[in-house]
């Protein structure tokens, strides 16, 4: 074999070794990144939902109640809405690892599905109108998540409530006037605790549907939500002590130690809509 051919052969061998080394180095880097990357990297992307909320949710007043209203028809026509529904169909919740990821995903998904329930039956005066004599709206199939049909009842009672955080009750919104406001942004894994705390404070600050305090009569009037889900607050010390963490500062001591009488606001199930 000539010296020239031997030289070429050695160069080819070196080239093959270099290519193999680069290939395996890249594979190794990808594997390390996959292991070290935060699990939230695999979470569902709710940027489309965030954009819809910012565009189609705004302040309004219905029957004297201040709330965040939804422009349902404009939202339905927005291309981001149909994409969001399609993306939820194909996303697998089984890929979510942490409790925070799961809670973030299902809070957002509940709110998306409540809006979908309204839009699937629009026009309606109340989300309850989407139900029937035989099946309440909460137990009616509303959509598909990860290839599985879901109901609002499934999401609220079988998933979110079992996570043991009563703050979910001010985050999930059943498309009604007396519900907590639909937040004008999607919940995110990295900001979830701050968002839930802020949501709770905002709800209690709204006297028209969250909390009313009358020290003279030693009475507090609460959203009916705190009656319906009273048991969810028992492990946290009870409803009033828990609310004292988030109530306006001037009311906190009274809620915790004032031993007030408790009554509840009428619940307005009219649709939380705005034009």
126 and 20 in a single domain? The answer is: no
pLDDT tens per residue, range 146-186: 999 999 999 999 999 999 999 999 999 999 999 999 999 99
Give the CA distances from residue 169 to residues 40, 174, 203, 247, in Å, rounded to whole numbers and listed in that order: 23, 10, 10, 15
Please give the pLDDT value at position 40.
42
22 and 52 in a single domain? The answer is: no
pLDDT interval class at 22 (50, 70, 90): low
Q: Considering the domain boundaries, does residue 269 fall inside one?
A: no
Lowest mean pLDDT among 42-51, 97-106, 154-163: 42-51
Q: What percent of the chain has pLDDT over 90?
A: 83
Is the pLDDT assigned to residue 203 strictly greater than 90? yes
Q: Considering the domain boundaries, does residue 195 fall inside one?
A: yes
* Domain encompassing residue 68: 39-264
194 and 100 in a single domain? The answer is: yes
Distance CA 87, CA 69 (A): 25
Tally DSSP H helices, then E strands, for the chain.
10, 7
Is the pLDDT assigned to residue 46 strictly greater than 80? yes
| 121-128: Cβ within 8 A, 24+ apart | 122/72, 122/73, 122/76, 124/271, 125/270, 125/271, 126/176, 126/269, 126/270, 126/271, 127/174, 127/175, 127/176, 127/269, 127/271, 128/269
Please name the residue that has the structure tokens 């968002």.
Answer: 195
**Tally of domains within the chain:** 2
**H-run or E-run covering 199:** helix 192-205
Q: Considering the domain boundaries, does residue 169 fall inside one?
A: yes
24 and 132 in a single domain? The answer is: no
- Mean pLDDT along residues 99-108: 98
Lowest mean pLDDT among 41-55, 78-92, 95-109: 41-55
24 and 129 in a single domain? The answer is: no
74 and 31 in a single domain? The answer is: no
Q: Considering the domain boundaries, does residue 44 fall inside one?
A: yes
Per-residue DSSP letter, 157: I
| 159-165: Cβ within 8 A, 24+ apart | 159/102, 159/106, 160/103, 160/106, 160/107, 160/110, 161/229, 161/232, 163/99, 163/102, 163/103, 164/235, 165/103, 165/196
pTM as predicted: 0.85
Question: Are the CB atoms for 72 and 115 separated by under 8 Å?
Answer: yes
58 and 169 in a single domain? The answer is: yes
- Mean pLDDT along residues 120-126: 97
128 and 225 in a single domain? The answer is: yes
Is the pLDDT assigned to residue 3 strictly greater than 70? no
Q: Considering the domain boundaries, does residue 272 fall inside one?
A: no
pLDDT tens per residue, range 215-243: 999 999 999 999 999 999 999 999 999 99
Is the pLDDT assigned to residue 26 strictly greater than 60? no
């Amino acid at each position: 074999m000539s010296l020239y051919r031997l030289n070429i052969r050695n160069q080819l061998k070196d080239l093959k070794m270099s290519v193999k080394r680069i290939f395996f180095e890249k594979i190794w880097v990808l594997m390390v990144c996959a292991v070290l990357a935060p699990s939230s990297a695999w979470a569902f992307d709710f940027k489309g939902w965030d954009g819809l909320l910012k565009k189609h949710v705004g302040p309004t007043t219905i029957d004297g109640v201040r709330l965040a209203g939804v422009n349902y028809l404009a939202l339905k026509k927005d291309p981001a809405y149909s994409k969001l529904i399609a993306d939820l169909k194909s996303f697998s919740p089984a890929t979510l690892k942490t409790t925070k990821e799961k809670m973030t995903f299902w809070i957002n998904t509940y709110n998306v599905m409540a809006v979908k329930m309204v839009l699937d039956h629009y026009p309606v005066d109340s989300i309850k109108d989407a139900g029937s004599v035989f099946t309440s709206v909460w137990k009616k199939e509303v959509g598909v998540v990860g290839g599985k049909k879901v109901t609002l009842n499934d999401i609220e009672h079988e998933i979110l409530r079992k996570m043991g955080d009563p703050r979910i009750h001010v985050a999930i919104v059943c498309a009604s006037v007396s519900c907590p406001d639909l937040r004008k942004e999607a919940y995110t894994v990295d900001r979830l605790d701050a968002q839930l705390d802020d949501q709770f404070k905002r709800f209690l600050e709204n006297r028209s549907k969250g909390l009313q305090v009358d020290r003279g009569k030693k009475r507090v009037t609460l959203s009916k939500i705190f009656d319906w889900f009273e048991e969810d607050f028992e492990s946290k010390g009870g409803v009033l002590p828990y609310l004292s963490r988030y109530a306006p500062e001037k009311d906190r001591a009274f809620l915790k130690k004032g031993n007030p009488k408790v009554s509840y606001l009428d619940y307005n199930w009219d649709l939380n809509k705005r034009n």
